[in-house]
Amino acid sequence: MKVLVVGSGGREHAIVYKLRQSPAVSEILCAPGNGGISDIARCFDVKATDIEGQCRLALEQKVDFVVVAPDDPLALGLVDRLTALGIPAFGPTAAAARIESSKSFAKNLMRKHGIPTADYAVFSDIDAALQYVRAKGAPIVVKCDGLALGKGVVVCHTTEEAEEAVKMMMSDGVFGKSGSTVVIEEYMTGPEVTVLCFTDGKTLVPMPSSQDHKRAYDGDEGPNTGGMGSISPSPFYTPDIEKRCLEEIFIPTIRAMEREGCPFKGVLYFGLMLTPDGPKVVEYNARFGDPEAQAVLVRLESDLFEIMTAVVEGTLDNINVKWNQNASCCVVLASGGYPAGYKTGYRISGLDKSSGIIFHAGTKKTEDGDYVTAGGRVLGVTALGKDLSDAVNAAYEAVRPVGFENMHYRRDIGKIKRTGGNQ
């Protein structure tokens, strides 16, 4: 089978890495891909958001199966277009992807179907939003309704901060149309956990838990990013919590989407807060998280292509998905200045000396075979261990030989007790 993977980040590299292990996959294409992906797949310079371009590529290359990995092309309906062309595609329809592309849709879905989440209100009028913030006070959380590369969430510890966040999104237009409507939520506390699930719209198969580290700096300080590292499993996700999440959140969400006429097929991401009142949904994503995918997929023992095919065909109940018992850790190496301004084009050294599994995110390969930086998040250095402490130590040992100018990474991934609010 010839498979096309849409996307260009560390998540896509992890997906290609696992698909290459399938005996059913004869060739992998990736568009646009990156420097590391180009070593194991044929890459094509087609933007993930170029819906017609991706469809043309799939037809011209006569691909048998497409994996749509990022959020934007899902929201733009790439799966719908490919399906209409008769090409099997892994991922939700545009209607189902609203669970991520519109936070107001997701929050209203949860309220309607009794799925536990933070109390909230939705605003398209800035004066009404500011009035609400002043009435509620702080701490409070302000979120863009639409997609914002994982950065459209501001946890506000003062009323003044909340007012500034509202103005930044709704008046200053920092996130464009994504911030023209905002969701304002109560502040939740407790450990944060991510659980990714395969689902064909009826059957749901949870993956091992993971934990993202969103903040840019050690100690969970600094601005939100796309993710600075991840671990799997989360030490907070006990069997009792797992049972509650399955019964109160995971299955009800799948059923709710079916009842709303937009059944979800693909990978559904549950961002959870384990509050004193029980687990609650912080957010949904309509695809693998990044860097959670890197930490979780290295633990997958089953054939990823077989699972994805079953999701598309609606036969997931026939698949026995197996995971190894190791723990894992992914440390993101980022460009200095990320998530704000940063420079690219720096040569990356030491990749051949690292003991880790290295997933490329923002890299390019030069004509002379070197890798250079080409984005904010550059690499995800990943390692397995017999337990979490072992995996964390192995990941940081694997980081040691790798370097590039202005390289920045957190030194506390998997090492701190994380109790953030609505990140």
pLDDT in tens, 206-249: 999 999 999 999 999 998 899 999 999 999 999 999 999 999 99
Element housing 242 (H / E): helix 239-245
State how far the alpha carbon of 257 is from the alpha carbons of 97, 261, 403, in Å.
10, 7, 45
Q: Does 112 map to a domain? A: no
Shared-domain flag, residues 312 and 348: no
Two tokens at 333?
């190496």
CB burial of residue 38 (10 Å; 0-12, 13-18, 19+) = middle
Question: How many helical (H) and strand (E) elements, i.e. helices and strands, does the chain have?
Answer: 13, 23
Shared-domain flag, residues 202 and 311: yes
Describe the crossing of helices 10-19 and 304-313 by its angle, rounded to 10 degrees: 100
**Integer-rounded Cα radius of gyration of the chain:** 20
Shared-domain flag, residues 251 and 272: yes
Side chain identity, residue 27? E
Instruction: Decide the pairing of beta strands 65-68 and 2-7.
Output: parallel
- pLDDT exceeds cutoff 60 at 86: yes
Q: Is residue 153 within 8 Å of 141, Cβ to Cβ?
A: yes
pLDDT in tens, 262-293: 999 999 999 999 999 999 999 999 999 999 99
CA 286 to chain CA centroid, nearest Å: 8
Q: Does 268 map to a domain? A: yes
Q: Is residue 6 within 8 Å of 48, Cβ to Cβ?
A: yes
Nearest to 247 by CA among 119, 114, 120: 114
The residues facing 349 across adjacent strands are 403
Cα–Cα dist 250/410, whole Å: 31
Shared-domain flag, residues 313 and 348: no
Tell me the pLDDT band of 169, cut-offs 50, 70 and 90.
Answer: very high
Domain termination site, one of 318, 341, 358: 318
Cα–Cα dist 42/161, whole Å: 46
Residue 84 CB partners (closer than 8 Å, separation 6+): none
Number of domains in the chain: 4
- pLDDT exceeds cutoff 70 at 422: no
State how far the alpha carbon of 410 is from the alpha carbons of 162, 229, 347, in Å.
27, 8, 21
Shared-domain flag, residues 197 and 305: yes
Shared-domain flag, residues 161 and 261: no
pLDDT in tens, 29-65: 999 999 999 999 999 999 999 999 999 999 999 999 9
- pLDDT exceeds cutoff 90 at 420: no
Q: Is residue 178 within 8 Å of 148, Cβ to Cβ?
A: yes
Nearest to 164 by CA among 172, 208, 313, 244: 172
Tell me the pLDDT band of 301, cut-offs 50, 70 and 90.
Answer: very high
Q: Does 132 map to a domain? A: yes
Domain termination site, one of 318, 350, 372: 318
Residue 2 CB partners (closer than 8 Å, separation 6+): 26, 27, 28, 29, 61, 62, 63, 64, 65
Nearest to 260 by CA among 101, 110, 88: 110
Q: In what order do the strands lie in the sheet with 2-7?
A: 42-43, 27-32, 2-7, 65-68, 89-90
Two tokens at 276?
């004193």
Q: Is residue 211 within 8 Å of 194, Cβ to Cβ?
A: yes
Tell me the pLDDT band of 148, cut-offs 50, 70 and 90.
Answer: confident
Nearest to 198 by CA among 315, 110, 109: 315
Domain termination site, one of 296, 318, 340: 318
pLDDT of residue 152: 86
State how far the alpha carbon of 25 is from the alpha carbons of 1, 121, 206, 304, 373, in Å.
5, 46, 24, 10, 30
pLDDT of residue 8: 98
ω before 32 within 30° of 0 (cis)? yes
Shared-domain flag, residues 362 and 404: yes
Shared-domain flag, residues 293 and 352: no
Q: Is residue 404 within 8 Å of 373, Cβ to Cβ?
A: yes
- pLDDT exceeds cutoff 90 at 380: yes
Q: Does 187 map to a domain? A: no
What domain range includes position 53?
2-93
State the maximum Cα–Cα separation within the chain, in Å, rounded to a whole number.
60
The residues facing 198 across adjacent strands are 205, 267
Mean pLDDT of 64-92: 98
Cα–Cα dist 172/165, whole Å: 10
Q: Is residue 408 within 8 Å of 334, Cβ to Cβ?
A: yes
Shared-domain flag, residues 307 and 347: no
Q: Does 100 map to a domain? A: no
Shared-domain flag, residues 69 and 161: no
